[in-house]
Amino acid sequence: MNSQTAFANALLNPDLPCPSGLTSWNGSDPAQRFAVYRNNVMVSLIDALADSYPVVQALVGEEFFRAMARVFAMAHPPRSPVMATYGHDFAEFVQSFTPAAQVPYLADVARLEMARVWAYHAADVPPIALEAVQAALADPAQLTRLHFTLHPSVQVIPSAFAVLSLWAAHQGVIDMASVDTDQPQTALVFRHALEVNTLEPSEGVGLFVSALLGGLTLPEAARAASELATAFDLTQALTLLLRWQLITHLTTEDPHHAPTR
């Protein structure tokens, strides 16, 4: 193990001793100074997680959250100097964190909160003109092979719990007492202009958008949504995408397997 790796490991593990070879400019105890530095690093990582997951923290309380975040940070050091999306895999950790098992919806709330972070930082891509979409939909030769590329911020968060209502209650939009946590909900997250939006589409619309994001053609996505949600309305789904200007590109080639040149 090289000295840099040993230093990084010791920073995130209080059970490890101060790395050897450290000195201080004023002759003070390097171990004491390293302990202060280690504590500051850990507090910064926990604070970063608290900034990204305020509703998760509110649901379990600050003390529990910070203890859970500390365990996460010790096992998941930052991989990038950009801290905005640190903890992008926090939801998966929460899902397997035994002490959080009594709050079964916690991981999905974390997924929703990180989706909002990703949406905020997503690239700016202009929407396609409405006339281009209308022309493609009216052309039978294109329609059967038509792929929609959606704005990079678009994400679908399906949940067996009332994930959107739980989030909204902590924004003061609805009363927490009115939330039935066991009510399944789907959240649609995207950025429109400079604002991150979080909507609750119908189950069918959520399935349709997920299918488009997965690379299915328009007819394939509509068929997949209809098979799983009998009340799916394609017109409603397209209206939502056009209203919020979420379609950025049209192609008759699979954008996930486009030929290289």
pLDDT in tens, 85-143: 899 999 999 999 999 999 999 999 999 999 999 999 999 999 999 999 999 999 998 89
**What b-and-e string marks burial along 212-227, b requiring 16 or more CB atoms within 10 Å of the CB?**
beeebbbebbbbbbbe
Q: What is the pLDDT of residue 41?
A: 75
What is the domain count for the chain? Answer: 2
SS3 category, 53? coil
| pLDDT confidence of residue 261 | 37
Of 103, 132, 153, the one marking the end of a domain is 103
Q: Which two tokens stand for residue 174?
A: 């609805």
Last residue of a domain, one of 73, 103, 133: 103
Neighbours of 193 (CB within 10 A): 8
Residue numbers of the domain that contains 138: 122-261
Examine the domain organization and report whether 99 and 165 are in the same domain: no
The percentage of residues in the chain with a pLDDT greater than 90, rounded to a whole number, is 71
pLDDT winner (highest mean) among 26-30, 40-44, 62-66: 62-66
DSSP for 159-181, written as a single string: ESS-HHHHHHHTTTSS-GGG--T
- Contacts of 216-221 with CB under 8 Å at 24 or more apart are 216/147, 217/144, 217/145, 217/146, 217/147, 218/143, 218/146, 218/147, 218/148, 219/143, 219/144, 219/146
3-state class (DSSP) for residue 100: helix
Would residue 65 count as lying in a domain?
yes
Residue 157 and residue 93 in one domain: no
Cβ contact 215:255 at 8 Å: yes
Compute the average pLDDT of residues 54-66: 97
Taking a C-beta distance cutoff of 8 angstroms, is the pair 112, 167 a contact? Answer: yes
Q: What is the pLDDT of residue 22?
A: 53
Task: Report the C-alpha dihedral over residues 113, 211, 151, 157, rounded to 10 degrees.
Answer: -10
Segment 179-200, tens digit of pLDDT = 999 999 999 999 998 899 999 9
111 found inside a domain: no
pLDDT value of residue 260 = 42
Count of C-beta atoms within a 10 Å radius of residue 38: 17
Q: What is the pTM of this model?
A: 0.85
